[in-house]
Structure formats: structure tokens, C-alpha cells
Amino acid sequence: MVVFTEIHGMTELNDGKPRRVKNCRPYSFLLEEDTTSFGIYEKGGIVTQVKQPKVLNFKSLREALKNPGDFLLSDFSKFDRPPLLHLAFQALDEFKVQFGRLPAFGSEEDAIHLIRLAKQINEGAGDLKLESIDEDILRRLSEGAKAVLNPMAAMFGGIIGQEVVKACSGKFHPLFQFFYFDSLESLPDEVAQEHGETVSDNRYYAQASVFGHQLQEKLQDAKVFVVGAGALGCEILKNLALMGVACGGKGKLIVTDDDVIEKSNLSRQFLFRDWNIGESKSTVAASAALAINPYLRIEAFQNRVSPETENVFDDAFWESIDVVINALDNVNARLYVDSRCVYFQKPLLESGTLGTKCNTQMVIPHFTENYGASRDPPEKQAPMCTLHSFPHNINHCLTWARSEFEGLMEKTPTEVNSYLSKPEEYKASMVLAGDAQARELLEKVVECLVAERCRTFSDCLFWARKKFEEYFTNKIKQLTFTFPEDSVTSTGALFWSPPKRFPKPLEFSTEDPSHLSFIAAAAYLKAQTYGIVVPDWAKDFNRLAEAVNEIKLPSFTPKQGVKIVTDEKATSLSISASDDSMVINSLIKVLDENASSIAPGFRMISIPFEKDDDTNYHMDLIAGLANMRARNYAIPEVDKLRAKLIAGRIIPAIATTTALATGLVCLELYKIFLGHKVEKYRNTFANLALPLFSMAEPVSPKVFRHQELSWSVWDRWAIHGNITLQELLDWFESKGLTAYSISCGQSLLYNNIFPKHRDRLDRKVLDLAKDIAKLEIPPSRRHFDVVVACEDDNGDDIDVPLVSIYF
């Protein structure tokens, strides 16, 4: 079902009515409608798919129990499990009716009763009767029926929370009708003999009863590193505190996050409150987790985990950790933590969310591939020429607006301050560059310090009014002068063919509130960059309008020969000119001539974008820039909230998905401390909107082989001794490999194509690394790493592991 807009000619289709189309191909579709009485199609038109409401008829619980229909599956290796669990939970309800309680922990008698009830219900199930009943699964259900496990509660809380939202909002597809989930693979093989060791008044009694006392001790003495204390991090810390992880005498829970709490975090990062805004995430989260469990041995760091902090998170730190749990929101940080876990052979529990979608990935040394083994394709970015000259949706306008904000309010003041701090060095660097980019930077410096320098708020108001004219009137006039509406491309096609939209210049009016709002926000922020106090009269829009009406600007006439970038592959809008160097020199001369007019010590104030402060005018300016531009191109405008979501690059995140993901992660944590085999681990992808749950065994790592040797990404080859370069080459030769290139960091220590490198053969590899690669080894470290490129006897390249030389 689609709706049509902006069709020229056959305008009857522009009525907003959803219409059915079929036979959809990349450039065509068939409209299921008689259009013979419509006008003749001329050109243009936008077609947008629209979702139609769906009516679902649910059975009553009584009816659905007897005839459940299709079950929602989560794990295709258990495709026959849901009917059995449907029967088992009915038997559990019947058990509670008969005995007034749930089966007791470890009671064989209660398990036999439950199995008997299940068989009785199955006998009366008619066509839905199961041919066989796996008594072991029923016995497991009986043994754990009284236990409420935190990971299961978190996971089901997330699912049910989303179902409540669906019921209230009518948005997304509800669960229809039964979903059964089990994680029996998380259980130990045998726990019965340990039941006597549990104590009923222990807060971990239920967990210890299901998993055994030994596992509970392992959890309490665990050393866990949680990277990130945002939405995922808060949920994980809560889960770990409730599970008793790192709550024993030998336990340690380290959490790190270099971010501070913002207002927008409060909707899903539930360990924080409004009075925590501006405080360190990791510190506040650690305190909140400690309130949940006072025995939690937790320590908070405020460091980003990166190459720059390897003095904090050093070898000794990584070697002391049992397991790492990622709670990050960007790929680069995940890749770095993954590389550390591979290097130090540590299990990594990885998860991520995006709106109603989430995924979890288990990274287990030697058994699974690492996180970095597979990558998502990069997100498609709109071409620069589209953003700057040919936008065709509001996202383009908002991306451009955010870029302009950063250029005007953050980057340009920073550039000016670079010049003011060290003027001679700055000018020399511009002369040395001598290109279009250097020319444009200097033009901005001259504009701020000379041509359009603001000394009073009235100057800022004049600048804002001039910017409106430049952005939304003059540039549009120049664009349509260079490319008139009827202009054609070299192939004869109309230049302004969809998706391009032919723009129209705006005529400024203080009667238009959106025009005046833009001028006000721009002037207020421009004043801030110069440290100018905004006068009280300027906050009164009536008086502001009077002042703006007094401003007179010269009329604009488009020029011939102006170059406008139309190449979608262009990465810069700077157009080089033969006289760039000459212009740079003349701009420097202007700065020199006006240097005496700049007060000693004067600096501009750079304004970084902050989306969460509704009083700072940042979003007012960005929304104004975007909506005025949208008006130029007849693109539907947006309100400030929608503008904040897009321009603020806010990743959709909701508490329900976070709870689901972290619950699943903590189910896998049990398996790590139980030492389970890889076939018992599960990676998950879920989408609560559909709903969809897809669980599968992790992928094994890629194995490389050469003769009798085999290795994967998890392997490192260790060589002990302070060896020479020749001895290193001989070591590889003994394995049937020819090492032709050896590097350390970014430096090449040896390559057999360079004759002079043979002079290095008798030198220690350690000395070469210190002299050539400038390697600095911390006092606590007793090894360093080199990357070796090898080939076999046939001359084929062989990827070998990283080589660690323990000197």
C-alpha cells in the first residue's frame, strides 16, 4: 500500500489515499486502479509505502490452552520443545492447585508427581497429544520451579514490558499467542548432591539450588570487567549485583566509562536520577549497584578503554580478569576490547541494541570466532553535493544544519584561536599548504576578526540577518541561475529530475515567527562566541523584530561562471583555483594590517553542540537552519523534538530491549563459570517489534593449517630468549616457513628485498625494536610483539599468528 505526492499532471493520485501496487521492480510497479478518467501524467511524483493496521483475533486463555496454534520459536535446534513446555506448564499449574505449592528443590517425589500430571493431561489432549514426553526436561522444570533467576526475570521483563507498550500504543505486532523459552543448556550436568549445602535464608538460595553451591562460590569470587556504564552497563551491573557476582572475598567487579550523565540518559539508564546529571556514569552506577548488594566488591574507573589508556589497563590488569562484558555503543571501542580479549585469551560477552532490536555474541577463547571476525557493511552517507545543494528529504537538511552549526559556532572560533595563540606559526602553515582548504580557513579567520567582527549585540543581529539572506535567498538564487529549471545534463535528461528538487528562494519577513526565531538563535549564539552579553531588550521578540527591520542589506545579483559541485563522489566542496597562494598571501596581509585592533589576550569562545539543554538555543538554530532549507526545497518541515533525534544522532534505545539483551548475556555467564562446551553457548538476534527471537551456536574460529601446524586468531606464538634476528628467521625456517618481512608497530625491522637489512641479522630483535620502532616497554612487561609475514615452499603467503618474544 502506497501514497502518492507531488505528481504533475495526474493530480488525482495526490489525494493521500493509500493505493495497492504490485509487480514492484527497481524502476516500476503496477497500480491496481483504473486511471483512464485521470489527467495525463506529466512528470515527477514521490511514492511512499504506508503500513496498514492489522486486525488480530486472540483466543481466550481457556481456549488457547486447549488449542495453542503455532508457537513462536526462539531456537531451531529445539523446534519440538514448545509443545512439551506447553504441556509441562499446564502440569505445573495443576501441581500447584493440588498441593498448594510449587515442586520443592531437588525433590524426586515432586518430580514424579509433575511427570504423572503431565502424562494425564497429555492423555486427554486429543489431536494435540504428544507421542513421547522427555521426562528429563520435566524433571529439570520441577527442580527449578521455585527459583526466580535474575537473568530470566530480566529477559522476560523486557519481553513483557514491550508487550504492555504494544497493548497501550497499538504499535508493533503483539506476541501471538504463546512463546516458551528455556535455557536448559545453562544448567550444570549434575547438582543434586549439592542441595544439602544451600541455606534457605541466603539471598542466593534459589540460584544456588538450581546451579549448585560450587558455581555460586565461583560467581562470588569472579573478577569481571564491565566496559561501559550506560543503558546496557546499568542493566548488567544490576544483574551482577543480584546474582552475587564479585560479592565474595576474592571477587572484583571493575566498571569503566569516561562519559557523564545527560538528561536524555534517564529514560533507560535506570541507575541514574536527575540529580546525577553531569556526574560520572561509572561512579554513580557503581554506587547504585552497591545499594542493591552491599557485599559487591566494585571499583569504578573513568577511563576510555583504548590504546591511550594501556598504562591503566595494563598486562597485569588484563591477566587478572576472568571475563569481560562489553556494554558499549560504538564499533571501534568494541573492536579494541575484542582485540585485548583475543590477546589475553579472555572470554568476552558482547551485546548491542538498536530500538526494538538486539543481539548478543559470545566470544570464547579458541572455541568461537572473535567479534572482529565479521563486520557490518558501512552505513551509506549522503553525497556532499546532495547535502549542500540538492537535498531531497529532511534528514539531508538536518545533517547540513548540524554541520553548519559546528562550522560557525565550534570549528571557526577554534580556528581563530589557533591563529591568535601563535600567529606567525599559523600563517606559515597556511602559506605552506597553499591550497583551497587553507584559503577557506583563512577567509573564515579574516571574516571573524576583521570583515564581520562583532563588537556589540547589534553587530551579531546584523550578522544573523545577513546569514539568513546568504543561506536561504542568495545561494538559492545563484543555484537556480547556474542550473535553471529547464537545464539538461550531457545525456539530454532534465538536470532537476527526481530525486533532485528545484528550490525557491525565501523572502525574509519578521511577520514569520520561524524567520525571527532563526535570527534570534543565531544572534544569541554569535554573541556568545565573542563573549558579548545579550541585552534584555533582545529577549523581547517584538523589540527584536523592530531592530531587525532596521537592517538594510544590498540586493543580490547572481554571477556567471560560478562553479557548484555536482559530483556525488566528491569528498570536498573546496574548489581549487590557480591563485590560491596569492589569495592566502593577501588574506595574511589583511590580518597583519588589522593586528593592532585586536585586544591582547582576546579569544573567541568555541561552542560544542549540546542537544540536551533546551535553553542554550543550539537546537533552535539547527531546527531553524533545517526547516528554512526544507522550505526552500518544498520538503516537509519537522518540530524541534524530531530535529533533535536526527541532528543529535540519537540512537533509538528503549529499556525493554536492554533488559532482554542483558538477561541473555547473564544466562551465558553461567556457562562460562560452569566450563560448558561451545555447543551449549548461544548467540541471539531478537526484534521485539515483530516479535522475533533467533538463537544459534556461535561460529567456530577460522583455522589456518601448514604441514603439521594449525592455528586460529586466538593463538600467539611465543619465543623465549633475547634472540637475534637471524635466530628468529631460523625459528620460522624450522617450521617450514620463510619469514620475509618483520615489523614492530608501524616500523619495518626486516625485509629480505632490502640488502642493507642483512646487516641487522646478528642484532637482537629487542634492540632493533627499540632503535627503529622506538619501542618503549613498561618495566612490568617481559615481552614484546612482532608481526611476521611468511611464505611456504611454493611462495604462497601464509597468515601466521602474532609472535611474542619473551626476552
Contact yes or no for 741/748 (Cβ under 8 A): yes
Residues 6+ apart with CB under 8 A from 284: 229, 261, 271, 272, 276
Residue whose C-alpha is closest to residue 756's, from 748, 765, 745: 748
User: How far, in Å, CA of 510 to CA of 524, rounded?
Assistant: 17
Are the C-beta atoms of 590 and 596 separated by less than 8 Å?
no
- Helix (H, G, I), strand (E, B), or coil: what is residue 247? coil
Strand order in the sheet with 298-301: 298-301, 252-256, 223-227, 323-326, 348-354, 357-363, 683-687, 692-696
81: which 3 cell numbers?
520443545
512 beta partners: none
Answer yes or no: are the C-beta atoms of 686 and 156 closer than 8 Å.
no
Residue 744 is among the residues annotated as catalytic for this protein: no
Catalytic residue among 24, 168, 385, 790: 385
In the chain, the amino acid numbered 8 is: H
Find out whether the peptide bond into 691 is cis, omega within 30 degrees of 0: yes
User: Quick one: which of 559, 392, 368, 532 has its CA closest to 454?
Assistant: 532
Copy the grid coordinates of residue 192. Answer: 543434586
One-letter amino acid identity for 326? N
Bridge partners, 797 (sequence order): 791
Q: How far apart are CA 511 and CA 166, in angstroms?
A: 43
**d(Cα 293, Cα 220) in Å, to the nearest integer?**
12
Q: What is the dihedral of CA 725, 731, 735, 740, to 10 degrees?
A: 0
Phi-psi map region of 21: left, alpha, beta (phi>0 left; psi -120 to 50 alpha): beta
Torsion angle in degrees (nearest 10) through CA of 160, 161, 166, 168 = 120
Catalogue the active-site residues.
Answer: 385
